[in-house]
Amino acid sequence: MKAGDLKHRVTILTSSSTTNDIGEVVEGTPVTVATVWAAKWQLTVKDITRAAAQVAQAEAKFLIRYRDDITTSMTVQHKGKTYAITGLEEYEDGQGLFLMVRSMTA
């Protein structure tokens, strides 16, 4: 992985539960896990078809430096767009991590 390829700034978010002032549990409060540099690729129809058995509805992928705290329950924000992580794939023996994503916002 070349550092120069990681030119997109992305934020990885997870949801957490909090309690409001009157004691109600509020679900879905976004919490930043990390803000990292990433490479981004739009997937072609051929890529989507090939990956269909492994990753449902992936339309793009980000490559970040390897982290072991990323899960498919998290989301990625990039340039005002929110993506759901649909799959994870290790890159070059733990040097990086592919995040297979699909858009959640228009």
Residue type, 72: T
Residue-level pLDDT at 55: 46
50 Rama sector, left if φ>0, alpha if ψ -120 to 50, beta otherwise? alpha
Closest C-alpha to 99, from 80, 17, 75: 75
Percent of the chain having pLDDT more than 70? 84
Asked whether the predicted pLDDT for residue 10 surpasses 90, the reply is: yes
Residue-level pLDDT at 61: 92
What are the tokens at 67? 């982290």
Residue-level pLDDT at 96: 92
What are the tokens at 91? 């890159």
Which single residue is written with the structure tokens 């896990």?
A: 33
What are the tokens at 68? 């072991």
Q: List, for residues 40-82, the tens digit of each pLDDT value.
A: 988 766 565 555 555 456 789 999 999 999 999 999 999 999 9
* Residue ranges of domains in the chain, CATH in brackets: 3-103 (2.40.10.270)
